[in-house]
Amino acid sequence: MSNLNNKVAIVVGGTSGIGNATVNQLLNEGATVHVVGRNTDKIADQANLIKHTASITNMADVNELISTINGLEKVDFLVNASGIFGPKPFLDHTVEEYDSYLDLNRGFFFITQAVAKKMKENNSGSIVSVGSMWAKQAVKATPSSAYSMQKAGLHSLTQHLAMELADFGIRVNAVSPAVVNTPVYHGVFGGKDEAEKALEGFNGFHPIGRNGSPEEIANSIVFLLSDNASWITGTILDVDGGVMAGRN
């Protein structure tokens, strides 16, 4: 386990799923964590946890958050983990649904810009975004055109920022998960119990034979954030139970 005492992290979308698992790991390893989400009340208060209520699709909220970031003494880590997922055929997509995905990237873009400026002051930092296997490959059972555009955008941003920010000691990576058992599926399948049941059908989709857990993705995120990954930047890490290697 790495020691992250005195490290300051911002986790956007840290109130549930992969983001929340990452928050918990960072706290356990001694970091101070600023968690950003629309409903921060749903996570318990604890030492070294600072909550910021914001919707990153709302530019007024984003600008307020940027002011807060500008006022911080330092930021060592940023995790971009907010996400929504609602499979829908391309021919049925509405403008509102499209915007709900792509507006996330606008928020990520300008929050990351503010954090990178802060990291540049200390000539060090590490940024990890949560991408998706769906950005690399289409799955007929889950039509996800707008979602995949959004995630592919994050993958591309990761590579561009890795190039641009390397001069300032900042590393930028992403993780690309396959099916992970998180609350993002509850809405897709009409509730927690229904989602658990439906997700069982995806276990065999992965060569390893099961869906992933938020903690498993968080393990990879915290690794990429840490000095253990000091020579890794611009990487889109497949954390997917083997899906990109082939199919069962």
Does residue 95 lie within any of the structural domains? yes
The residue segments making up the domain with residue 125 are 8-242
- At residue 246, the pLDDT reads 84
| Predicted pLDDT of residue 94 | 97
The pLDDT value recorded for residue 204 is 87
How high is the pLDDT of residue 222? 98
Strand-pair partners of 58: none
Q: How many domains does the chain have?
A: 1
In the three-class reduction of DSSP (H, G, I as helix; E, B as strand; rest coil), residue 80 is classed as: strand
Q: Which residues are catalytic?
A: 147
Q: How far apart are CA 220 and CA 41, in angstroms?
A: 26
**Amino acid, single-letter form, for residue 167:** D
State residue 168's pLDDT score.
Answer: 98
Cβ-Cβ contacts under 8 Å for 98 (sequence gap 6 or more): 146
Q: Is 56 part of any domain?
A: yes
The answer to whether residue 192 sits within a structural domain is yes
247 lies in a domain? Answer: no
Residue type, 106: R
pLDDT of residue 160: 98
Indicate the length of the chain as a whole number. 248
Q: How far apart are CA 229 and CA 173, in angstroms?
A: 10
pLDDT at residue 2, rounded to an integer: 64
**Is residue 114 a part of any domain in this protein?**
yes
Q: What is the pLDDT of residues 198-222, one digit of tens each?
A: 888 888 889 999 999 999 999 999 9
Mean pLDDT by 10 residues, the chain (248 residues): 85 96 97 97 95 97 98 98 92 96 97 98 98 94 94 98 98 96 78 82 89 96 97 98 87
In a domain, 2, yes or no: no
- Assign residue 104 a region: left if phi > 0, alpha if psi is -120 to 50, beta otherwise? alpha
Whether residue 105 lies inside any domain: the answer is yes
Q: What is residue 194's predicted lDDT score, i.e. its pLDDT?
A: 81
Six-digit token string for 39: 């409903």
Residue 248 domain-assigned (yes or no)? no
- The pLDDT, as a whole number, for residue 198 is 80
pLDDT at position 190 is 78
**8 Å CB contact between 211 and 201:** no
Please give the model's pTM, rounded to 2 decimal places: 0.95
77 DSSP β-pair partners: 9, 126
> Residue 192 maps to which CATH number?
3.40.50.720
Per-residue pLDDT of 124-167, as tens digits, reads 999 999 999 999 999 888 899 999 999 999 999 999 999 999 99
